[in-house]
Amino acid sequence: MIKYIAFDADDTLWENEPYFRETEKRFVEMLAPNSAYDTTELKELLYDYIVENVPAYGYGTRSLMLSLVGFCNQYATCNVSEMIESTIKLGQEQLSKPVVLLPDVEKTLKSLSQNYELLLITKGDLKEQNRKIVESGLTPSFKHVRVLEEKDEASYLNFFQELGIEMSEVVMVGNSYKSDILPIEALGGHAIFIPYKSTWAFESAPKKDSKRIFERGSIAEVPILISSIQYDQKNVPHKL
Ligand SMILES: [Mg+2]
């Protein structure tokens, strides 16, 4: 029986990804005239550079800033000190972006919280994620809020075991197939994939055919879908 609905935060409850792409775009445009590469080449090189740094730097704006500074140092053909200063400013701007809730988030959480316990599970930089969680004003909707370093099977299992939650009681809702959907399904939970208009290529993964994975176009469709999952679970014939 479903008792817990877990939500991803970035690009599921509020906008995030466009801020990263915008900062990267501005950075590449700033660097291109002072490098041996054009903006398209720099964009590709930067993607690889950032992904290579994920194991050491993790996720979030401050990690991005570190990668941009390192990248600048490696690819700029001019004196980099001024450029590094501008790069840090780009990151600081991104850190102070407002939290903009996605459509129907508030009413959906309100509706679901009448029948289920809601959990918020996000990953990344603790300070940055906590600032967004507080600013979102959504904290009262959630029974538990957790910022993980990584969203993989081991970290989810640790989280749910700590709370004494069985995976068969969980539905996870998120925009990252790799981080929100596949690990939860692998652990025995249900997952609802809600693609966002832009998703970091690093977070995409091949789709899996599973009776416990669903895809919907909007968070507003989640309550009715969960009711039908609940109905199907109740009506599964008992094994003899
Ligand atoms: Mg997300």
Q: Are 184 and 191 in contact (CB under 8 A)?
A: yes
89 Cα–ligand 1 center, Å? 25
Question: Contact at 8 Å (CB) between 192 and 216?
Answer: yes
The SS3 assignment for 51 reads helix
The predicted model gives 122-127 an average pLDDT of 94
Q: Burial of 161 by CB count in 10 Å (0-12 exposed, 13-18 middle, 19+ buried)?
A: exposed
Burial label for 214, CB within 10 Å (0-12, 13-18, 19+), is: buried
The predicted model gives 90-107 an average pLDDT of: 96
Q: Is the pLDDT of residue 240 over 60?
A: no
CA of 102 to the centre of ligand 1 (A): 12
Give me the half-sphere count of Cα atoms (radius 13 Å) on the Cβ side of residue 24: 23
Confidence at residue 134, expressed as pLDDT on a 0 to 100 scale = 97
Confidence band of 238 (pLDDT split at 50, 70, 90): low
Q: Where are the domains of the chain?
A: 4-15+99-234, 17-95
Q: Report the separation in Å between the CA atom of 175 and the middle of ligand 1, taken as the mean of its atom positions.
A: 5
Q: Which CATH architecture has domain 4-15+99-234?
A: 3-Layer(aba) Sandwich (3.40)
Interval 33-42: pLDDT, tens: 999 999 999 9
- Ligand 1 centroid to 233 CA: how many Å? 27
**87 CA distance to ligand 1 centroid (A)?**
25
For domain 17-95, give the CATH superfamily.
Putative phosphatase; domain 2 (1.10.150.240)
Measured in Å, residue 75 CA sits from the centre of ligand 1 at 30
Distance from residue 76's CA to the centre of ligand 1 (Å)? 32
Q: How far is the CA of 123 from the centre of ligand 1 (A)?
A: 9
pLDDT in tens, 67-90: 999 999 999 998 888 889 999 999
Provide mean pLDDT across the span 140-147: 96
- Residue 85 is classified by DSSP as H
Within 8 A by CB and 6+ apart from 189, the residues are 167, 168, 170, 171, 172, 212
Q: How confident is the model at residue 22 (pLDDT cuts 50, 70, 90)?
A: very high
Calpha distance 64→26 (Å, rounded): 13
Question: Cα angle at 159 between 158 and 161, to 5 degrees?
Answer: 65
Distance 77 CA to ligand 1 centre (A): 35
Distance between Cα 121 and ligand 1 center (Å): 10
Lookup: tokens for 144: 């538990």
What are the distances in angstroms from CA 89 to CA 29, 62, 68, 71, 93?
15, 11, 11, 15, 6
Which pLDDT score is estimated for 235? 81
Residue 234, pLDDT score: 80
